Chains A and B, each alone.
Chain A
Amino acid sequence: MTTYDALDRYVADHMAAWTEELLEYCSIGSEASDPAALRRAAEWTAARLRRLGAAVDVVELDGVPPLVVGDVGSGSILNAVQHYDVQPAVPLELWTSPPYEAQVRNGRLYARGAADNKGELLARIWAVEAYQAAIGELPCRVRFLVEGEEESGSEHFAQLLDQRTGLREAAGALIEGGGIDLQGRPQVVGGTRGMVAAELVCRTIRYDAHSSLSNLLPSAAIRMVKALATFWDADGAPVVEGLRAGVLPPTKAQLAVLAAIPDDAIDEVRGVFGIEAFVGGRSGQEAIRILTLEPTCNLQSVWSGYIGPGGKTITPAEAHARLDLRLVPDQDPDEIIAAVGRHLERQGFGDIEVRPFSFQYRAYWTPPDHPILAAAIRVSEEVLGKSAIHDLSAAGTAPMHVVCASGNVPITTLGGSDEECRAHAPDESFRLDYAAAAVRITGRFFDAFVTVAD
């Protein structure tokens, strides 16, 4: 059996330099709206992979952030599905330090992208570097697939993959990162959710009116409020008919996995968000099941009228809202968006326009008893010294269906993002000792993967 002392030492010795590297990477504001920054992030990624000795191929499509492919090692193929783009950093005023001037405080690196996904991506790269330096040739072939549109829906990911033959062929795939819970337990999942999103647009009058007429002129803001209020019950649970269309009933194996998850793994999330109760007072097993097995219907934003400082006495002519709906196997995104439209019609709001976003994902779950998950669990437990929490799927979304469905490639997470990393929110951060743990876990996984891939 391989010992990892040399690898672990290499990781410990290099964390300081690697932290500098992550600081540099996170200073690139690679948001969807900034093509130049996306280009710089792609080039940075390509250069970093070349330094690793990877064969790098930058796949281009007109008007689209490129896909950076980096291939290193030989043997069974492990696709590492990653991204170099980040969520928008706004609202900027809620950041303790500016999102693109990465800063280390109390053992955490604060920046947009620190965890999602620049930190997790670098941990994979560092693992390859450490393996090669401390142990030798990689036991498998790691293929990095680093896209630049993940946070905005991976709209061209499939098309980019199609530009090269064989990119989807693999014995396994790594989802972009992995979790560690508040008690330091690794969280391993074998799936990701699907998602579809839409903007609702309500128009009532030709233009904003002086609000003195508000007793007579129909307000778009009020109409939108009345329409949205029909989407959830008093507790905030969605009541849209057809939202569950296509949901597969859980298998016995899946239910067993959920039953093994300790209640506190979910209940402690309440503390993170400073609340006493989850929606509907759910907790423990019930919360775990609804988080994993049920689709969501999230109101991500709403706006109408004048929203600047002060006020403006108008009756708004137009109102907007955006919904994101996360899906489970085997839901069809188009069908779910159609259910939203039908809901509006049934409730008497057929005039409200539903504009689906151009991206959509299907969920992709590996059966929980697949050996790749056992391998991921074993190496995570070995490094962190605690029993892993095994769940069926991440609550979040990643384009794993696009990469893995055609070849039925099994997938797993591995990584170091904890509950405090605030992915997608202000003050996103990555805990640096967990970054080191993620590198050590990944290094061990290369060996474990070979045994299950064969």
Chain B
Amino acid sequence: MTAVQPRATARDYAAFDRYISDAMPAWTEELVRFCAIPSEAGDEGALRRAADWCAARLRRLRADVDVVEKDGAPPLVVGELGAGRSLLAVQHYDVQPAVPLELWTTPPYEPNVRGGRLYARGASDNKGELLARIWAVEAYLATIGELPCRLRFLIQGEEEGGGANFGPLLDLRPGIREADGVLSEGGEIDSRGRPVVYGGVRGMVSVELVCRTIAYDAHSSLANLLPNAAGRLVAALSTFWDAEGVPQVAGLEAGVRPPTSADRALLEGSPIDEIRDLFGVYGTDRLVAGREGLEALEVLTFGTTCNLQGLWSGYTGPGDKTITPAEAHARLDIRLVPSQQPDAVVEAVRGHLEGHGYSDIQLIVSDENYPAWWTPADDPIIEAAIRASEAVLGTTAIQRLSAPGTEPLYDVCAERNLPATSLGSSDDEARMHAPDESWSLAGAALAAQMTGRFLDEFAEIEEKH
């Protein structure tokens, strides 16, 4: 059966697009103000200000706003408007820590526009991408009319910290997960200007390893006799990866659902220049284990990761301190694929330590672990996102099964098996989570344009069934 011609290609978006380009200077100022709020985990005041800011901005959009509170958690800001098929926009107002501050060209919370980009922590992840969604609604209402679907913003304040309270906050509002589809927090444009559309996100397990050997730090003159916690943790960690940095933890892949033939076909049809770009962007002439091309793409998509995000022991300040450390710490983040369960992966790490004779090393498991969530590659919501982004960018989109990154989509989607897609304009230069995070302002306008068209595409989906 031939699909109904989607409205998006029929509708004239000239007025809509003009509204966006006219509003961009004012919107840029708005993003500058939003990004000036240092809403890092741990800064309750800033998180509260960012939540209030979001609620006020949604009210200006005439959304029904509901600020869901739970003790000890930054609030969940819910904003709802429109009628028809229901779309959830899963966003967040918190940001990654900005440290190390000295590596920023301009201070992370004094947003600065240069070379057509806005530099600030949160510029793209996720304050920019969130505002692009809001701007799209504003432009749609102003130039086209009522929204063609019902849009519910779910803006949490713990995404970068793992979102332990996201599920419980959602649980406080029965029916909040009722929807026909989900738009994840942002989206990507690759270095060649092609939209990248993801149907899923990875899961995540975070653990801290703590090694203690002696009652307290010792004068290092005793180093030949006293067991060194730093040395012991280093020896334990060295068993986690081979010489190339490939994880060697037995059971790390526990629960991995093998890729379907459709998954594999999609992967094999994907361009691999993004992989090639990594060499230049990160200034390395070799990827882990010499991987390249399709093999690299495959491991990026289907491989569980085991990343050493932080390691510390002893005196790390200026100068030196001649001690044998009593205590050493390391943090691992492990990104999961379907259908891995966080608990099984934690057990694999524990088993690895025990199996290698390091059962004395304590494992502190984060309470913010969650599974992956991938939408089947042929779901119409992905097709809708592809069409909307191709219409704006004029180039063929790249479809991927999953973002390499993590978002707590599982909490939102799993209960009702909701399909999810991405849409947005973060590029390779965005440096999310790193110093000098930025967002292209031209890309911001494109993201707003895509989102407006996507609302129409999404509204159409049911009619095609």
Q: Using a CB–CB distance below 8 Å, which chain B residues touch chain A?
A: 41-42, 96-97, 99, 103, 161-162, 202, 204, 206, 213-228, 230-232, 234-235, 237-238, 240-241, 243, 245, 275, 278, 281-284, 286-288, 291, 296, 299-300, 303, 305-325, 328-329, 331, 333, 335, 357, 366, 403-406, 431-435
Contact = CB atoms under 8 A, between A and B. Distances in A.
Shortest beta-carbon contacts, A-B, top 8: A301-B314, A395-B221, A229-B238, A212-B404, A298-B223, A274-B215, A214-B307, A206-B283
A207 B103 contact: yes
24 contacts: A207-B282, A210-B405, A211-B307, A212-B404, A215-B288, A215-B300, A218-B245, A218-B284, A236-B231, A236-B235, A279-B224, A282-B225, A300-B322, A300-B325, A302-B314, A306-B99, A307-B310, A307-B311, A307-B316, A308-B99, A309-B42, A312-B96, A313-B433, A320-B316
Contacts of A312: 96-97, 309-310, 433
A216 B213 contact: no
A402 interface: no
Nearest to A322: B320
B275 A314 contact: no
A253 interface: no
A321 to B, nearest CB: 8
Nearest to B430: A210
Contact of A290 (B224, B283, B309): B224
A301 B331 CA distance: 16
Given A310-B41, A313-B406, A222 B321 contact: no
Contacts of B317: 88, 90
A211 B316 contact: no
B237 A225 contact: yes
A221 B310 contact: yes
A173 interface: no
Contacts of A260: none
A35 B43 CA distance: 34
B305 A225 contact: no
A371 B333 CA distance: 62
Interface of A: 32-33, 87-88, 90, 94, 152, 193, 195, 197, 199, 204-219, 221-226, 228-229, 231-232, 234, 236-237, 266, 269, 272-275, 278-279, 282, 287, 290-291, 294, 296-316, 319-320, 322, 324, 326, 348, 357, 394-397, 422-427
Contact of A311 (B219, B220, B310): B310
Contacts of A228: 231, 234, 238
A208 B281 CA distance: 11
Given A236-B232, A299-B234, A395 B222 contact: yes
Contact of A234 (B225, B235, B324): B235
A88 B321 contact: yes
A390 to B, nearest CB: 18
Contacts of B288: 215-218
B282 A324 contact: no
A357 B335 contact: no
Contacts of B406: 212, 313
Contacts of A217: 278, 282, 284, 287-288
